[in-house]
Amino acid sequence: MAYNDKVLDHYENPRNVGSLDKNDPQVGTGMVGAPACGDVMKLQIRVDEQGVISDAKFKTFGCGSAIASSSLVTEWLKGKSLDEALSIKNQQIADELALPPVKIHCSVLAEDAIKTAISDYRSKQKGVDAP
C-alpha cells in the first residue's frame, strides 16, 4: 500500500508528540481505542483562562494513518476555542489526509479523542468550580 504524502509527512515528522501533566486542572486528556484493535490514541489539550486551547500533545499506538490523524488534529486544535474544537469532524481529517476507506476509522478515532479530551477538561473544571 502506498501512502499519501501528507500521511507520510505527519508520520515522519509528527507534530506535538509528548505528554502534558494529566493532573493539571487546565489539562484535558482523551484516551481512545484499544490495543486489541491495533489503535490507541492519547490526546491532551491545555486550555488557558480565555477558554482557548494553548497547547496540544499526542501519543499514538497505531498505523501510519492513525499517527498522522492525531498529529494533524494537535495542529488544528491550537488556538481554537473548545466549541470550535468540537466542530472538527472526522470527514475533514480524512479529506485533509486523503485517507482510503479502510483507514477512515483512524479519523473517527481522532475525532473521538478530541471529544473525550474536552469532556475530561470540562469535568475537571466543574470539580474546580464546585463550592
Partner 1 sequence: MKKPIYMDYQATTPMDPRVLEEMLPWFVEKFGNPASRSHAYGWEAEQAVEKAREQVAALIHADPREIVFTSGATESNNLAIQGVARFYQDKGRHIITPVTEHKAVLDTCRHLEAEGFSVTYLPVQTDGLIDLTALEAAMTPETILVSVMAGNNEIGVVQPLQAIGQLCRQKKVMFHCDAAQGAGKIAIDVESMQIDLLSLSGHKLYGPKGIGALYVRRRPRVRLKPIQHGGGHERGMRSGTLPTPLLVAFGKACAIAADEMVAENQRLLALRQRLLDGICSRLTHVNVNGSLVHRLAGNLNLSFGFVEGESMMMAIKDVAVSSGSACTSASLEPSYVLRALGVSEEQAHTSIRFGLGRFTTEEEVDFTANLVVEAVNRLREMSPLWEMVQEGIDIASIQWSGHH
Which range binds partner 1 by CB under 8 A, 3-11, 74-82, 86-94, 122-130?
3-11
The verdict on 111 binding partner 1 (CB under 8 A) reads no
- Amino acid letter at 114? I
Mask for 37-56, x = binds partner 1 (CB under 8 A): xxxxxx--------------
Q: Which of 10, 27, 28, 33 binds partner 1 (CB under 8 A)?
A: 33
Please provide the size of the chain in residues: 131
Place of cell 474544537: 85
Note whether 23 and 46 are within 8 A (CB): no
106 counts as catalytic:
yes
Place of cell 486523503: 98
Distance CA 18, CA 56 (A): 9
Q: What is the DSSP string of 106-130?
A: HHHHHHHHHHHHHHHHHHHHHHHH-
The verdict on 28 binding partner 1 (CB under 8 A) reads no
Residue number with CB closer to partner 1 (10 or 124): 10
Residues binding partner 1 (CB under 8 A): 1, 3, 8, 11, 14, 17, 19, 31-42, 59-64, 66-67, 102, 105, 109, 112
Question: So which residues are the catalytic ones?
Answer: 37, 106
